[in-house]
Amino acid sequence: MNPQHSRWVRQAGLWIVILAAALLVAWNFYWVLTNEPEHDEAEHWHVAWLMHQGQTPFYDFFEHHSPLFWMLLGLYFKLFGVNYGLILASRLFMILVFAGIIVLGWRLARRWAGPAAAWIAVLGFPLLNLGYFHAHLTVRADPLILLSLLAAMNLAAHLADRRPWSGRDGYRLAGFFLCLAGAVAFSPRAGIPALTLFLALGFLSRDALPRRRLFAVFLGGGVLVLIPTLLLALPYGLEVYLFWVFKFSASVLPVFSPLIILQDILRGTWVLLPLVLAGALAPLWAPSLRRRSYALLLIMAGANLAGLWASTHPYMQHFLMTLPFVGLLAGPGYDQIMRVVRSVVKIPVAVPAVLFLAGGLLLLSAKTHIMWKWRAGGMDCRRWVECHRWLRERAGDTGTAAASTAFFHPLFVQQTYYYWFAVRYAGPTLLHMGRDFDAVSFENVRGARPVILHESFFLAWNLLGSSECRAWLKANYEPAPYKDYWVLKERLAAAPPQTTPENPPENRDGSPP
C-alpha cells in the first residue's frame, strides 16, 4: 500500500470512529429518554423517596440492598425537590458512569494493547449484546461497582509493575483500598472481585516492600475496605443489616446456574472469543506481556468468571463485575492476531477494528429497533411517567397503593403494606429463617382500603380468584385508564392539584408535584 493511500485509509478510519462515537452517544441519550423504566429502576427511585420522607430501610419498609445508592439518589431531592425529573437526571448520571467506565477501561487496555485494540477491548461485549449494554445504563448500583473496580484495577496494574514502591505509590495504594471500599459499600456483589483483586495484588507485590511492612499495609488496607460498609450498617444495627443485605439477598431466589445468561451472551459475542483466547495465551508468544499487571488481569478474568458460580442467582447485571475483565483480554488478542495477518497482508492495523466497531453499532441499533417494535403495545418512558403522575394525583398526600413489585407501584405514593416487593419470596424465605411473617388476607386488604390497587398484588397473594374479593373490588373500585390499575371510586374523578404561586408544581419542601 502506497503512503498516500495509507494516509487516506487512516483519515477515513478516524472519521468513521468519530461518527460511530457520535452515533453511540446519540443512541445512549435516545435510550434513556424513551426506554420504559425497569423494576430495579422504579424500586430505587421509590426507596430513595421513602428515605427522603424520613423512613428507615429494613424497619419501615421491605428492602434487601445497601442504602448507599439510595442516599446518592436522594441528593436530587435535596437539590431540586421531589419531582419526576429524578428519572431523567439519574439516567443521565448513568450515561456519565458508563463514559467513566469506557475511559478507565480504555486506559487499562492501553497498558497491553494498541489504540484500536483497546476500543475493541472496552466496547466489544457491550456492542454485541443489547441486554449486557442495557445493564450498563439501568439505574442501579452495579455500574458504579464496575466503575470503582476499574479505578482500583488501574491503580493495581500500576503498582504491580513498579519495583520497588516509592512514596507516591503509597497514595496510589490508599486510593486502591478506597476504590475497593466503595465497590463493597454499594453491594456485597462486589465481594468476590474486590477480594480477588486485593489478594492478587498482595501476592504479586510480595517483593515491592519488606514482607512485614507489606503485611501491615495490606492488613490496614483490609480494615479500610470494610469501614464504609460498617458505617452504613451501624445506624440499622449490624445484625439487622447483615441479615437483610447479605443473608436475605443470598436466599431470596431459588438457585440457578449462570450458564443461562452466559449462553445468551455468547450467542451474540462469539466473534470476540478468538480474540479473548488469543489474549489469554498472549504471554506464551509475547514476552513483553509477561508482566505482573497482565498476570493480575488474567487472575481477575478467570477468578471472577468462576466466581459467578458462587452466586445463587446471577443476573445480567452481575456480569458487569466479570465480562469487562474478560473483554480486556481481547485487546492484546487482537494485536497478536493482527501481527500474524499483517505478515501475510499489508493492511492498516486499525481497519478491522473500525469495521468491527461500526458493525457492532449497526447491530446494536437493529436489535434496539426490533425490541421497541416488539414492545409497541407497552409504555415508553413518557407514557410510564404519565401513568404514575395520574395515579399520584388520585392518591393525594394521604392515600396509599398496593402492588406486588416496584414497577407497578406509583412513585411518590406510600405503601399499604410492609412487603410490597418480592412477596413471592419474602414469606417463604423469612419463615425458613425463623422470622415472623404475616401474610396478607382479604380482611386486612379491605381494612387498609388502599386508594390505588394493581392486580399483580392480588395475584401475588392468591386473592384474585376469590369471588368475595372480586365482588368487593368491583363495588368499591373502578378501573383506571391504565391497564390492571384500580382506583377508589371517590378518588377516580379527583382533579389534579391547582398550580398557584403558593402551591408551585415542584415544591422544595419535599412534597411531590
Domain boundaries, the chain: 3-34+84-155+256-370, 381-492
**Virtual torsion, Cα 508, 61, 33, 90, nearest 10 deg:** 60
Instruction: List the chain pLDDT tens, one digit each, 513 residues.
Output: 555 555 655 566 566 667 777 777 888 888 888 888 998 999 999 999 999 999 999 888 888 899 999 999 999 999 999 999 999 999 999 999 999 999 999 999 999 999 889 999 999 999 998 889 999 999 999 999 999 999 999 999 999 998 888 888 899 999 999 999 999 999 988 999 999 999 999 999 988 888 899 999 999 999 999 999 999 999 999 988 988 888 877 766 666 677 888 888 888 888 999 999 999 998 887 777 778 899 999 999 998 888 787 766 778 888 898 899 999 999 999 999 999 998 888 888 888 888 888 888 888 888 887 776 666 556 688 889 999 999 999 999 889 999 988 889 999 999 888 766 556 667 766 776 677 777 788 888 888 899 999 998 888 888 877 888 889 999 999 999 998 999 999 887 665 554 333 333 444 344 444
Compute the distance between CA of residue 513 and CA of residue 500 in angstroms, rounded to an integer: 12
Spatial contact of 413 and 392, defined as CB atoms under 8 Å apart: yes
State pTM to two decimals.
Answer: 0.90
Of 121, 106, 18, residue with least CA distance to 335 = 121
* CB neighbour class for 152 (10 Å; exposed up to 12, middle 13-18, buried from 19): buried
Of 134, 126, 35, 144, residue with least CA distance to 88 = 35
Rg (CA), the chain: 26
- Could you tell me the CA-to-CA distances from 343 to 61, 445, 475 in Å, in that order? 64, 75, 80
* Residue carrying the nine cell digits 478467570: 302
Task: Compute φ and ψ for 494, nearest 5 degrees.
Answer: -60, 130
* Residue carrying the nine cell digits 425463623: 434
Give buried/exposed letters for 88-114 (b at 16+ CB in 10 A, else e): ebbbebbbebbebbbebbbebbebbbb
- What is the DSSP track for 273-320? HHHHHHHHHHHHH-GGG-SHHHHHHHHHHHHHHHHGGGSSS--GGGGG
